[in-house]
Structure 1
Amino acid sequence: MNSIKVPGNIKGERVDAVLSIAVEGLSRSSLKSRIEQLFVNGQRAKLSRKVSSGDSIEYNLKKEISVNIEAEDIALDIIYEDENVFVINKPAGMVVHPAAGNYSGTMAQGIMHRLQETESDFLASDKRPGIVHRLDKDTSGIIIAAKNTAALEFLSGQFRERRASKTYLAIINGRLPGKRGSIESLIGRDRQNRKKMTWKTENGKSARTNYKVLRRWSEKSFVALSPKTGRTHQLRVHMLKMQTAITGDPIYARKTEGYSLMLHAYKLRITLPGEDKITEFRAPLPARFKSAIISLSGRD
């Protein structure tokens, strides 16, 4: 049984609204089909029950039904591969997992095809492949996938315990204070727009991002961003909080100026299965970044 305390100054909100904000990846629509048991202050309740700050919510969810992933022959830019893992340089615009509106052309389907071609026993019960972490569709760069269940659990544990580290490169609108810094806030679902996250919440989860300024121009900056937590849209929200939205961000920037999202997962440091040392992987800077840097440097 999962449980949360209703946070902040909430008064008279529905249980489904509170859970969809407090639990990452859980929407009000999915709650209708997934909720098995629900209690408020020890008493059985419905999703429409109104709760306030300090109330205790206990709930059980059905396991989410996985989409059947059909293999597709999709070209993957593989940085590294061994018997346990793939490290892939994902292009901007590629979706990681099949979902509504994106049932084809995903990274997961490309991985399934490659495993069919190279691993004769990949359907065995201990060979369940899985993508360890996520990148938004419009973000390019490093992503690691496991070829078997043991590797998936080993790698996922490092992300869960924050022993794996990632560094992103971004072009942002404006300038951050100083050459280095840290941004901390809560991050939760935006109540007005469910596609957005926001730092303007009392009910979110704590998030921290370190930054380093690599280059400045008159109106933009080139920065390295290191998330110390893994919240949805964390880097995009933290840059918006600093009034330096990521250039080309279709959700958080006021205008894209003809750019695509200028965010690239550049570096991953992680311990591979069967090893006791940290390995560092890097994904080369994409052409869209090189072109933008040349263009911005020519203007100043």
Structure 2
Amino acid sequence: MKPLTHNITVEDEGTRIDRWLSGKLASESRNRIQQLIKNGDIRVNGSQVKTSYKLRFNDQVLIHLPEPEPLNVSPEQIPLDIVFEDGSVIVVNKPRGMVVHPAPGHMSGTLVNALLGHCRDLSGINGILRPGIVHRIDRETSGLLMVAKTDQAHRSLAKQLKDKSTKRKYLAIVHGNLPHDEGIIDAPIGRSEKDRKKMAVTEKNSKHAVTHFKVLERFSNYTFVACRLETGRTHQIRVHMAYIGHPLAGDPKYGPRKTLPINGQALHAAELGFIHPVTRQQMLFCAALPDDMARLLEGLRNGRYSS
């Protein structure tokens, strides 16, 4: 890949190089950027620098992104619910229980395996195990995901996520009866200090996180809500709803074990909107509630799960 060269302006003077690069390389994580700096793939005035280096006026930053490694994840003929597809983007409705990308313990049966079985032309920016994956939803969450077929599309979609210009609406069933019809949860999320496998609202090593919620329907001990993500942190809706005392039904990680009969948290990515990376057209997609959540709602309306 051809190296990119940038000359630092007065406005960027004094900014840490890793923070500055986060704005330039929207598709790359902060950890990935720091690793590129440490590897010498990013240099200032021809020299290797530390990740904490503060830029100076007229510094010349050379960015060399290594070529993506060849894919070695096995394509699998797994049925996909494809909502939209063209030469740049695929929008897929992921079923509950499917892992998004391969990881230790889940090297097959993932959405990536299924996508590679459907088509080989996926963005290589995220490397071998996550081709085309711009964002993720949890294994036990169902709903819409956008997947990039080209690196250009990947960079555009990742930048839209970073700029908070995408639309992501989720439907959820939560424990208890929310006292307000709608609200905003603005609370930072980071790794839990008590349990490293969980996320939590915390001030230490956390990231800004905002969730908007609106009550759609109330039941005796449960509430059906719509949540809109302003940011996209790991387990954000699950953590935020638990934080205000209304954890998701079916989510023993952040809520009670006694819950509604569903295999995973009652959370569904129902709407996804973005600007098409090539046509610049505003796109909006919707996915109906999966059968398991629809059955729960019907049972709640009939008073079947009143306790």
> Above 0.5 in TM-score?
yes
Q: Does 1:253 align with 2:274?
A: no
Q: What is the TM-score with the length of structure 2 in the denominator?
A: 0.73
Alpha-carbon separation, structure 2, partners of 1:283 and 1:80: 11
CA distance change for structure 1 residues 25 and 65 in 2, over 3 Å: closer, same or farther? farther
> 1:68 Cα deviation (Å)?
3.1
Worse-matched range after superposition: 172-181 or 209-218? 172-181
Match of 2:299 in 1: 295
Q: Does 1:69 align with 2:85?
A: no
Alpha-carbon separation, structure 2, partners of 1:115 and 1:261: 30
Alpha-carbon separation, structure 2, partners of 1:286 and 1:298: 19
Tell me the amino acid that sits aligned with residue 103 of structure 2: A
Tell me the amino acid that sits aligned with residue 252 of structure 2: P
4+ aligned runs moved over 4 Å, structure 1: 33-37, 62-67, 123-126
Contact kept in structure 2, 1:67 and 1:98, CA below 8 Å: no
Which blocks of at least 5 consecutive residues in structure 2 are unaligned? 1-16, 20-28, 40-49, 54-64
Q: What is the TM-score with the length of structure 1 in the denominator?
A: 0.75
Match of 2:244 in 1: 242
CA distance change for structure 1 residues 209 and 66 in 2, over 3 Å: closer, same or farther? farther
Match of 1:2 in 2: 18
CA distance change for structure 1 residues 75 and 187 in 2, over 3 Å: closer, same or farther? same
Tell me the amino acid that sits aligned with residue 89 of structure 2: V
Match of 1:185 in 2: 187
Matches within 5 A, 1:85-124: 85-116=89-120, 122=121
CA distance change for structure 1 residues 253 and 110 in 2, over 3 Å: closer, same or farther? same
Q: Does 1:279 align with 2:295?
A: no
Candidates 145, 160, 163, aligned match of 1:161 = 163
| Identity in percent | 38
> 1:157 Cα deviation (Å)?
1.2
CA distance change for structure 1 residues 197 and 67 in 2, over 3 Å: closer, same or farther? farther
Matched positions, count: 250
Match of 2:133 in 1: 131
CA distance change for structure 1 residues 123 and 167 in 2, over 3 Å: closer, same or farther? closer
Match of 1:144 in 2: 146
Q: Which SS does the other structure have where 1:266 is aligned?
A: strand
> 1:274 Cα deviation (Å)?
2.1
Q: Which SS does the other structure have where 1:267 is aligned?
A: strand
Structure ranking higher in strand proportion: 1
Tell me the amino acid that sits aligned with residue 89 of structure 1: N
Contact kept in structure 1, 2:123 and 2:149, CA below 8 Å: no
Alpha-carbon separation, structure 2, partners of 1:298 and 1:25: 48
